[in-house]
Amino acid sequence: MTTITHQETLIAVEQVHKSFPLPEGKGEFPVLHNINLTVKSGEVVALLGRSGSGKSTLLRIMAGLLPPSQGQVISRGKRLQGANNDVAMVFQSFALLPWLTVQENVELGLEARGVQREERRQRALKAIDLVGLDGFESAYPKELSGGMRQRVGFARAFVIQPQVLFMDEPFSALDVLTAENLRGEIDDLWNAGTFPSKSIVIVTHNIEEAVFLADRVVILGANPGRIRGEVIISLPRSHDRSSKRFEALVDYIYTVMTNPEAEVTGVAVAAPKAAFEVRQSPYAQALPHVRVGGISGLLELIVDQPEGKDDIPRLAERLQLEVDDLLPILDAAVLLGFAEVSQGDVKLTEIGHDFATTTILRSKDLFRQQALKNVPVLSSMVQTLREKRNQSMRADFFLDLLDEHFPHEEAERQFATAVDWGRYAELFEYDAGEERLYLPEPVGVGENAGDGE
Ligand SMILES: Nc1ncnc2c1ncn2[C@@H]1O[C@H](COP(=O)(O)OP(=O)(O)OP(=O)(O)O)[C@@H](O)[C@H]1O
Ligand SMILES: [Mg+2]
């Protein structure tokens, strides 16, 4: 690919919506809302968003593996119908066939495209060479390390010489060092101008990875998945991680990612954004799935920092936590009013400081106070229990309410998280055997206060 016509639009996603049906005909679950996105030749685009923001779904729609519910995808000027032959995909899970050799795995896609045997062989050998697997042609996947298997994954995509290479979290199943090496090699290959595709779309939830590899980071929000905006990575390639500008971009994106409501103003906003409905029900707000212990643990770490403040990327590094594990904890802390996030820093609020430093009993009080104030699903559950004569309710009742807003499995997880928080705050008790929630006995009132459970 020596001559790249600059700025040629390769793929255009136009007003794409995607919903999946909810179980038992309970309507639709919106996963992508009004997506507008173009991929041009000569650029690396990162799709960055948290788990569940619809990144993989969007990639699958662009690859023609999944039809949009509304809107269309144009690939090189033609409306896409069925599989998109302009793209090849690298998967997180490598997706190799264990009974085929490296060579055979790499040739597979060519065979499907009707390429003759000898040409197949030649092209596969070249692709295998390009990913540094020269000499491993007849090895089987199980004889290779994870990093080598993903090299085969790359070779299999390269050999097709696609217009656009799609990668869905290609490095996240590898150990840190292997991932770092392979990521660097892919970047080198791109920068050398000898890359076997005209552009790259990479899906990731790793902020540093996005800033390192991409020219443009498109930030997706969740519930429903939508484009919040994009950040242009205005750095000379290869992107120098130690530069101030690199750090500033990473910090900026961390801030945006930890403030789901914040506007993404980073240079250019991608698409005309239609207002989407604000969900009113207290059962529509998604709780981050973290345990109370995780929240208090995090706050205790931050409270020890100067000014009760910490840089989020550094915090993630210190804790050896993936962003996807750290962000929900931060979310929960912000939601409960224990912390604030700005410019890549997390800072404890006064209440957060108290919560992190006080006794267990008092911290339960603080948690209860903040939960009732800031977490509508908990206050609504308590309200419902109070209205009942026997102050108790079947779990199903709440699950049904959650089912209206989430796919069933997620509704169950939401329920479990709400119960975990509610029990910690002593807002209610949950009898897992009976599958019932009930209000705790008021302490000191009545005969059996202090009874065991
Ligand atoms: N076939 C399907 N049927 C029903 N729901 C689905 C289907 N595929 C995806 N979803 C839902 O769509 C939402 C987005 O999923 P998707 O896999 O695209 O997210 P993602 O951003 O790639 O997440 P991750 O970072 O975890 O890979 C999720 O809530 C998921 O449960
Ligand atoms: Mg995904």
Q: How many CB atoms lie within 10 A of CB 130?
A: 19
Rounded Cα–Cα distance for residues 270 and 290 (Å)? 32
Question: What residue owns the CA closest to ligand 1's atom 17?
Answer: 56
pLDDT of residue 5: 46
pLDDT of residue 427: 93
Q: Is 308 in the pocket of ligand 1 (CB under 6 A)?
A: no
pLDDT of residue 268: 32
Going by pLDDT thresholds of 50, 70 and 90, the confidence category of residue 405 is confident
Tell me what the mean pLDDT of segment 332-358 comes to. Answer: 92
Non-local CB neighbours of 356 within 8 Å, separated by 6+ positions: 296, 299, 300, 302, 303, 338, 348
pLDDT of residue 208: 94
Q: Which atom of ligand 1 is nearest to the CA of 203?
A: 22
Question: What residue owns the CA closest to ligand 1's atom 13?
Answer: 52
Is it the case that residue 6 has pLDDT exceeding 60? no
Closest C-alpha among 47, 34, 33, 41 to residue 1: 41
pLDDT of residue 45: 98
pLDDT of residue 314: 86
Tell me what the mean pLDDT of segment 50-54 comes to. Answer: 90
Q: Is 49 in the pocket of ligand 1 (CB under 6 A)?
A: yes
Q: How many CB atoms lie within 10 A of CB 65?
A: 14
CA of residue 21 to ligand 1 center, whole Å: 13
Q: Helices 146-158 & 102-112, crossing angle to 10 degrees?
A: 30
Tell me what the mean pLDDT of segment 93-114 comes to. Answer: 93
Going by pLDDT thresholds of 50, 70 and 90, the confidence category of residue 87 is very high
DSSP string, 242-296: TSHHHHHHHHHHHHHHH-TTS---SSB--SPPPP-PPP-STTSSPPP---HHHHH
DSSP string, 164-194: EEEEESTTTTS-HHHHHHHHHHHHHHHHTT-
| Portions of the chain given CATH number 1.10.10 | 292-438
Q: Which atom of ligand 1 is nearest to the CA of 49?
A: 21
Q: Is 30 in the pocket of ligand 1 (CB under 6 A)?
A: no
Q: 102-106, 345-349, 354-358 — which one is most confidently predicted on average? A: 102-106
Paired strand residues for 88:
165
Q: Candidates 22, 56, 92, 209: which one to mutate for ligand 1, based on the most atoms within 8 Å of Cβ?
A: 56
pLDDT of residue 316: 86
CA of residue 58 to ligand 1 center, whole Å: 9
Q: Is 52 in the pocket of ligand 1 (CB under 6 A)?
A: yes
Q: Is 57 in the pocket of ligand 1 (CB under 6 A)?
A: yes
Q: Candidates 16, 19, 55: which one to mutate for ligand 1, based on the most atoms within 8 Å of Cβ?
A: 55
CATH architecture of 292-438: Orthogonal Bundle (1.10)
What is the third-level CATH fold of 9-258?
Rossmann fold (3.40.50)
Is it the case that residue 453 has pLDDT exceeding 60? no
- Exposed (0-12), middle (13-18) or buried (19+): which is 192, by Cβ within 10 Å? exposed
Q: Which atom of ligand 1 is nearest to the CA of 225?
A: 14
> How is residue 157 written in tokens?
């995509």
| Portions of the chain given CATH number 3.40.50.300 | 9-258
Rounded Cα–Cα distance for residues 181 and 193 (Å)? 19
pLDDT of residue 276: 33
Q: What is the pLDDT of residues 64-75, one digit of tens each?
A: 999 999 999 999
pLDDT of residue 266: 61
Is it the case that residue 444 has pLDDT exceeding 70? no
How much is the mean pLDDT over the chain? 88
Q: Which atom of ligand 1 is nearest to the CA of 59?
A: 18
Q: Is 342 in the pocket of ligand 1 (CB under 6 A)?
A: no
Q: What is the pLDDT of residues 209-267, one digit of tens each?
A: 999 999 999 999 988 999 999 999 988 999 999 998 898 899 889 888 888 777 787 64
Is it the case that residue 369 has pLDDT exceeding 80? yes
Q: What is the pLDDT of residues 113-155, one digit of tens each?
A: 899 999 999 999 999 999 999 999 999 999 999 999 999 999 9
* pTM of the complete model: 0.71
What totals of helices (H) and strands (E) does the chain contain, helices first?
15, 16
> Which ligand does the CA of 50 lie closest to?
1
Going by pLDDT thresholds of 50, 70 and 90, the confidence category of residue 272 is very low
Q: Is 51 in the pocket of ligand 1 (CB under 6 A)?
A: yes
